[in-house]
Amino acid sequence: QISDRKIVPPPRAELGRSMEAVIRHFKLWTEGFKAPKGYVYQAIESPRGEFGCYLRGDGSTKPARVHFRTPSYVNLASLPSLAKGGYIADLIAMIGSSDIVLGEIDR
């Protein structure tokens, strides 16, 4: 739980009673909050593998850079080592067993 009132919206029960809470909620969702300068990479577990999220902040309300690394990209990168010494006909089975989604790679 985060207790910083600058980045956490007010409790739902408070929204029905306090006009200040409604204004703070509106400003938080329209203007956002200032993230500190710096960067963060967070690995998130997904069904196909590790989903990576990279954010770089410059001190403003919008991030300077946002990048997502999908698990299919890493799974495709392992394909040459899997295919070494195999047949071309085996590539279809290798792609299927690696669970590669080409739509994730071609962004």
Statement to judge: residues 75 and 95 lie in one domain: yes
Statement to judge: residues 15 and 5 lie in one domain: yes
Statement to judge: residues 75 and 104 lie in one domain: yes
Statement to judge: residues 61 and 74 lie in one domain: no
Print pLDDT tens along the chain (107 aa): 777 777 888 888 888 899 999 999 999 888 888 888 999 999 999 988 899 999 999 988 888 999 999 999 888 888 899 899 989 999 889 888 888 888 888 76
Written as one letter, the residue type at 80 is P
Q: What is the pairing mode between strands 38-46 and 49-57?
A: antiparallel
Statement to judge: residues 60 and 76 lie in one domain: no
Provide the residue count of the chain. 107
**Residue 86, SS3?**
coil
**Mean of all residue pLDDT scores within the chain:** 88
List the structure tokens of 33.
């909050």
Statement to judge: residues 106 and 74 lie in one domain: yes
Range of the domain at 62: 34-69
What confidence score (pLDDT) does residue 11 get? 87
Q: How many domains does the chain have?
A: 3
| pLDDT, tens digit, 9 for 90 and up, residues 60-75 | 888 899 999 999 988 8
